[in-house]
Every structure is written in structure tokens, then in C-alpha cells.
């Protein structure tokens, strides 16, 4: 993890401007990095923000610290999914992956952005609440968060990772179209029980008339419909699996 050499630090506080999760504290006219707040995003190191070069890297000798770095640093590549950043392509490749089919609704629950950060204990609360309502969590080959789960059917994470903080993380999965109301209601409830923020991406196919039942459900629950979106028109070549 990055540390600040107190002998070299001039106390100019330039580094604090670049830390999006407020992990750099100013005490006794010097800056220091709080290891509990740091997400290992390495922005301060990668951008060489210290004019005195007082910020140094220390080895990440704990597995969860290494994972924390990979998921928080946008230039790193996740070893399982092969995707940079948070290690997921979300729905961007659905025309070739076919993750979300007719009669299904996908959700991308993006936690911790912008600038709030997210402890994995809060990610667990949201994942478990959604799973209880009928949400089927995506497997590890699709999203790295699943690799930390002891039970994919419940969303339970390994206890030893719960107090690690990430820059952000995405909970992905899907449910049957008839269960989307239950899942959305569960998310409305659990959002009041966590100490961070999340934004919700809704993934669905339109019917023959161009309608989307999931959007109608948003209206019923008083959730504002999105003002922006991504349209996947299905021009990719589907992946063929044996």
C-alpha cells in the first residue's frame, strides 16, 4: 500500500486534492495515509502527485489487499475475468454473451461512486438483500465480487474481507421478469441500512411493441426512470460454447 515518508513530506497537502476517498489525513503539519480508509487505487502513486516524492509503495502481502488494489485501480486487469478496472464488462457485450434473455431482467448495482468508496460489508448487505428477493447473482467468470462469496445463492461474502474498502464495486445478476418488483423493493429498503451510495443499472429486452415491463415497475414504485442508457442492437456474433 502507499505510505508517506514523514521525513520527506513538506506538509503542502497537494496529495489530499487527488485522493477521492479522503484517505490522506493532515496531522502535526504532515500528511499520512490511513490504511483503513485507503482503497489501494494508487492514484497518488500513479500520477506522481507529491512534489517531494514522499509517497512510496509498500508490498501488498495480504491477498485481500492485492484484490483491493486490482478492483480499485482502473489500469489493473482482473486475473479471472480478464477485464481491467473493476473486472467486469457488465451488459456491454450482451449481444455476444447472451447473459440476459427474454423474460429476464438484469441489474448492475454500482456501489461507492462517485467518491464515496464502499466497504465490502455494505456490498454484502445489498447482495444478500437482493438474493433473498429472488436475484440470481452473476458467477465469478462474469464478475469478480462473486469470487469472494461463500455462497452465490445468498450473496454471503467471506468474513475476512468485510472490512476492506474499495473505490467502487459492482453487484451483477438477473431475475425473472415477474420478480423485479420484489428485488427493487428490497433495494429500496437496504439502501437505508448502508453507509455509502449506489446507482442502479437496469438491463432488459423490449417486447415486440417496444415496451419494457421493468420500466413500468419503476413507475409503480415511484423510482424515476433513467434519462440515459445504452442500446445493444445485437450486431455481434454470439459466443459458441461446447
Per-residue pLDDT of the chain (242 residues; tens, 9 = 90+): 889 999 999 999 999 999 989 999 999 999 999 998 999 999 999 999 999 999 999 888 788 888 888 888 877 776 667 776 666 766 666 666 677 788 899 899 999 988 789 999 999 999 999 999 999 999 988 888 898 999 999 999 999 999 999 999 999 999 999 999 999 999 999 999 999 999 988 888 777 777 778 888 888 888 887 777 777 666 666 665 54
Would you state the pLDDT for residue 32?
Answer: 96
Dist CA 47 CA 156 (whole Å) = 36
All 3 cell numbers of residue 167? 473505490
Cβ–Cβ < 8 Å for 175, 215: no
Cβ–Cβ < 8 Å for 14, 50: yes
- Name 143's Cβ contacts closer than 8 Å, sequence gap at least 6: 81, 87, 88, 170, 171, 172
Beta-carbon neighbour count of residue 16 at 10 Å?
Answer: 15
Matching residue, cell 504532515 = 30
Would you state the pLDDT for residue 239?
Answer: 61
- Name 159's Cβ contacts closer than 8 Å, sequence gap at least 6: none
Would you state the pLDDT for residue 62?
Answer: 80
Would you state the pLDDT for residue 19?
Answer: 93
Class of domain 85-221: alpha beta
- Name 210's Cβ contacts closer than 8 Å, sequence gap at least 6: none
121: number of CA atoms within 13 Å, CB side?
Answer: 8
All 3 cell numbers of residue 174? 438477473
109: number of CA atoms within 13 Å, CB side?
Answer: 31
- Name 220's Cβ contacts closer than 8 Å, sequence gap at least 6: 181
Provide the 3-class DSSP secondary structure of residue 175: strand
Burial of 24 (0-12, 13-18, 19+ CB in 10 A): buried
> How much is the pTM?
0.85
DSSP symbol at 112:
S
Whether the ω angle into residue 114 lies within 30 degrees of 0, i.e. cis, is yes
- Name 103's Cβ contacts closer than 8 Å, sequence gap at least 6: 176, 177
Would you state the pLDDT for residue 67?
Answer: 81
Q: Which long-range contacts (CB under 8 A, 24 or more apart) does 151-155 make?
A: 154/128, 155/124, 155/127, 155/128, 155/130, 155/131
Amino acid at each position: 500500500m502507499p505510505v508517506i515518508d514523514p521525513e520527506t513530506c513538506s506538509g503542502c497537502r497537494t496529495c489530499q486534492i487527488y485522493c477521492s476517498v479522503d484517505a490522506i489525513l493532515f496531522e502535526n503539519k504532515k500528511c499520512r495515509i490511513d490504511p483503513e480508509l485507503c482503497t489501494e487505487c494508487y492514484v497518488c502513486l500513479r500520477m506522481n502527485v507529491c512534489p517531494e516524492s514522499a509517497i512510496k509503495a509498500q508490498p501488498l502481502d495480504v491477498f485481500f489487499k492485492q484484490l483491493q488494489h486490482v478492483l480499485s485501480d482502473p489500469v489493473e486487469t482482473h486475473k479471472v475475468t480478464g477485464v481491467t478496472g473493476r473486472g467486469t464488462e457488465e451488459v456491454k457485450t450482451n449481444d455476444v454473451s447472451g447473459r440476459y434473455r427474454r423474460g429476464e431482467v438484469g441489474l448492475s448495482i454500482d456501489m461507492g461512486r462517485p467518491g464515496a468508496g464502499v466497504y465490502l460489508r455494505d456490498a454484502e448487505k445489498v447482495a444478500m438483500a437482493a438474493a433473498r428477493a429472488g436475484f440470481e447473482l452473476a458467477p465469478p467468470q462474469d464478475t469478480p465480487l462473486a469470487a469472494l462469496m461463500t455462497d452465490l445463492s445468498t450473496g454471503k461474502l467471506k468474513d475476512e474481507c468485510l472490512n476492506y474498502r474499495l473505490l467502487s464495486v459492482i453487484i451483477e445478476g438477473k431475475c425473472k421478469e415477474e420478480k423485479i418488483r420484489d428485488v427493487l423493493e428490497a433495494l429500496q429498503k437496504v439502501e437505508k441500512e448502508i453507509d455509502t451510495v449506489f446507482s442502479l443499472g437496469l438491463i432488459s429486452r423490449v417486447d415486440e411493441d417496444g415496451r419494457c415491463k421493468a420500466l413500468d415497475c419503476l413507475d409503480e414504485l415511484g423510482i424515476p426512470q433513467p434519462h440515459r442508457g445504452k442500446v445493444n442492437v445485437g450486431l455481434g456474433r454470439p459466443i459458441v460454447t461446447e
